[in-house]
Amino acid sequence: MEYSQAMFEDHRTLYIQLHAISELDGADAASTWNLFARAHTLCDLAFLQNHEELRAEFHQTLSELFAMNSASPHTWGARNQQSRVAYALRKLLWERFFGHELALLSELDVDPVPEDPDALVQYLKEVNEDHIASHHPIFSYLCDQAPLVHVKSFFYQEGSVDARFDDLIALAQIGMDGLVKEEYAENFADEMGHGNPDRVHTTLFNRTSHYVLHFRGKNENILEQPSTEALACSNIQLGMAYDRRHAWRLAGYLAAFEFNASTRCDQLVSACTRHGMQRNQLNYLTEHIDADAAHADGLFEEIIKPLAASDRRASLEIAQGFLLRLQTSTDYCDALLNGFLQNA
């Protein structure tokens, strides 16, 4: 597609332009053309180092398009979820983003991925141990040094990455069978509190988040808006969950997520209690210290191994998903830590 200066006379971001159109499939040809022109520009420029604003717009837009899949009835998102325009835009942005992240994996210095299920699990654990995401310095900073405003800001940013993990597990189990389905279902039952509404993952997160953010009053300097990197973490996991081509990669992604969550939650509890918060008010974090360790074991033994044994192509894609979690998590943690240290 050829671009000209005239097509950028509308300086509104793409996600604002989208919301300005009530029915996307009913938009006139010029409006639709402008949407796709803007989308192609974002795809071409967003991942260049000097285009941070366009990268933010890219991920905000992709997040809005993914949010259509969980929108409430009678809202703009629900009305346009099945729109051919929304579908084409979502596909365009998602595939460019996924391709970008997958290309970065090719630059990593890692051993070839083994096909044998047992060897694959050992491989993933060793890769994790050597990767900065498994011991990122932001967590020791939060645990030992960070002022309260930074602890609050981090927890607020986690809302974009982790708040709807129960939905992610629900999506992951679709189309699975046998041990794989059973393990996902058990994981989902944990996320749903085994029938106790007070123990539901989302409820626990929201309750703990409210406690942390309002502890000793709200602070004007809290980073309330999701960072670009937080949205990228959310977008990579939702993209794989909604795209059936990536079901094996999603399993690897979830394994990396759960495998590192226990240590992170433990350090976040220490960060909060260091500032005087009550441990019994941090249920979301304390419960996930033990629960996520069990979930990680289940993912490795009952999901990853059976999937790897079922198809020789699965091991590589599982490893890719695992590394994609480590990669996007590192970008997210790097950006937050750098921001915190610059404003310390």
Among 138, 144, 172, CA closest to 260: 138
pLDDT at 158: 86
pLDDT at 289: 85
Tens digit of each residue's pLDDT (9 = 90 or more) over 171-215: 999 999 999 999 999 999 998 989 898 888 888 888 999 999 899
- Say whether 212 sits in a helix, a strand or coil: helix
Q: Which residue bears the tokens 């309002």? A: 214
Paired tokens of 183: 């393990």
CA dist 45 and 54 (Å) reads: 7
Residue ranges and CATH numbers for the domains of the chain are 5-105 (no CATH), 117-342 (1.20.910.10)
CA dist 33 and 14 (Å) reads: 12
Tens digit of each residue's pLDDT (9 = 90 or more) over 227-285: 999 999 999 999 999 999 999 999 999 999 999 999 999 999 999 999 999 999 999 89
DSSP states of 22-72: SSGGGS-HHHHHHHHHHHHHHHHHTTSTT-HHHHHHHHHHHHHHHHGGGPP
pLDDT at 10: 57
Among 335, 316, 163, CA closest to 238: 163
Its pTM stands at 0.93
* pLDDT cut 90: percent of the chain above it: 77
CA dist 210 and 289 (Å) reads: 20
| Distances 64 to 36, 89, 93, 311 between C-alpha atoms, Å | 15, 11, 11, 34
Each residue of 234-267: b (16+ CB within 10 Å) or e? bbbbbbbbebeebbbbbbbbbbbbbbbbbebbbb
